[in-house]
Chain A
Amino acid sequence: MTTMVACPVLWAAPSRPVSLTVRGRVGTMGSSGSPSELVDLLKRISSGDQPAFADFYDSTSRTVFGIVLSVVRDRAQAEEVTQEVYVEAWTSAPRFDPELGSAKGWLNTIAHRKAVDRVRSSQRSQERDQRHFEAGPAQPEVDTSDIVVAYDQSERVRAALQQLPEAQRTAVHMAYFEGRSYREVAEFLGLPLGTVKTRIRDAMKRLRNQLGEAAS
């Protein structure tokens, strides 16, 4: 099999202590904007409440921008896509149904899908690959000092990712953080489709076991 080009050092153990600088509001989905608060906000947003939408943005934008940037790898494009994500959230808020999933899951799905849409056209995908190549193996384009995360939650996730078998970690990395279809992942790694599917599935199940109780 081919070499692990996409060796995910993104969640490798930090080589130096991570300083806990918290700039402004700690606004990851995990740390502010509880699930019920976000559902309440979406309810108000559904009736055109713009200040509620501003709160919703403040509670979620770091996570949305983070995953969009991870997939498109270009700050200017990430800003455009993030704007599209929030416009979609605004227009579709009246159709959000809390019975069918969490607000965070709903928004994150929109974000990931729009980021993937942005890079899946072939030309853009080549440009994106070029950026991944230039940026080196699987590093986010952001300075790590910019990754001001809610420490506990983010560290838990990184730790959980690090505990995955490398093959699974690579599959999840390419599928989720780089936004590739499992066919692309299979082609890239020179693996059968079924193997890649299994790796993604197994990885997600392991992650659920480790993080599931916090998935509120």
Chain B
Amino acid sequence: MNDLHALASEYAVGSLPASESSEFESHLATCPDCREEVADMRDIAVHLSEAVATDPPPSLRASVLAQIAFTPQRQPAPATEQTERAMPASASSNVVPFERRSRATWATGLVAAAALVAAVALGGWAIHSRNDARNATATAQELTQLLAARDVKTTTGSFSSSGSGTVIVSPSEHRALLVASDLPALPAGRVYEAWTLGTSTAPAGTFTSSGSQTVVSLPNHAATAAAVAVTIERGNGSQQPTTTPIFSVTLPKA
């Protein structure tokens, strides 16, 4: 086993071929000294990497954050997988289980909304909720959760002014969001107001445009509404629409 003990450096700099790598990993499972040695050598490798540190393009950050927003995480390893946890690069760590739902269902929501999430991430978070300004984190998580729902549906339409809007609903989660793109800013004293249409028309929150993306958290009943519309209203909004809708989409039946 002396030969194996000596491989910690080569393993830590990643120069072992795959077959020897797995052999050494089996050895690591039973050799605390080697685990410590590898951890040490990996810290030295970090220093080597620091010598070539290079700024990634800013667009990469947005792209990474958009992708992780709809990527499920693995579960913590059971205690018996200690060694595997120490070895993140082992082959099995590339297997990402889809634990809550099938890959196909996940993919449906993902494909429908991936571009949208990317757009939101790239545009910065311009978040509005219907009554109060909740923090961006909560809404970002809300969006992520919603997109992961098994019955998520997205419907897109245009604003007659300019810009477009997408309504994302999940009846099972009782949640709905409106994501509006490139909405013009309104003059002072005017707000956008969302409405849900069904057996009756109900106010669904006021918002203003901030930047290229505006995310509006709609009330729960919007998830089962027949349609969502937006008007421009005075002051802090009204209880009934007083102008012609500049946006409306019919939602798919649940």
User: Do chains A and B interact in one complex?
Assistant: yes
| Contacts from A to B (Cβ < 8 Å) | 10-11, 23-24, 28-30, 46, 48, 50-51, 53-54, 57-58, 61-67, 69-70, 79, 82-83, 86-88, 90-97, 100-102, 104-106, 108-113, 116, 140, 142, 146-150, 153-154, 156-158, 160-161, 172, 175-177, 179-183, 185, 197, 200-201, 204-205, 207-208, 211-212, 214-215
In the A-B complex, the 6 residue pairs with the closest CB atoms = A105-B42, A101-B39, A215-B43, A100-B86, A67-B49, A113-B89
Residue of B nearest to A25 (CB): B55
Whether B60 lies near A140 (C-beta < 8 A) is: no
Kindly state the separation between the CA atoms of A207 and B137 in the bound complex, as whole angstroms: 42
* A contact face: mostly helix, strand, loop, or mixed: helix
Least CB distance from A142 to B in Å reads: 5
Given contacts A48-B141, A176-B15, contact A108 B42 (CB under 8 A): yes
A47 to B214, CA, bound (A): 26
Determine whether the beta carbon of B6 is less than 8 Å from that of A207: no
- The segment from B74-82, B216-224, B232-240 that touches chain A is B74-82
Q: Tell whether, in the assembled complex, residue B14 and residue A94 are in contact, meaning their CB atoms are under 8 Å apart.
A: no
Contact present for B52 and A66 (CB under 8 Å): yes
Whether B14 and A113, one on each chain, are in contact in the complex, defined by CB atoms closer than 8 angstroms, is yes
Within 8 A of A (CB), among B30-78: 35, 38-57, 60-61, 63-65, 67-69, 71-77
Chain B residues closer than 8 Å to A179, beta-carbon distance: 14
The one of B14, B94, B140 in contact with A112, judged by C-beta atoms closer than 8 angstroms, is B14
B99 to chain A minimum Cβ distance, whole angstroms, is: 11
- Residue numbers in B under 8 Å from A180 (CB-CB): 15
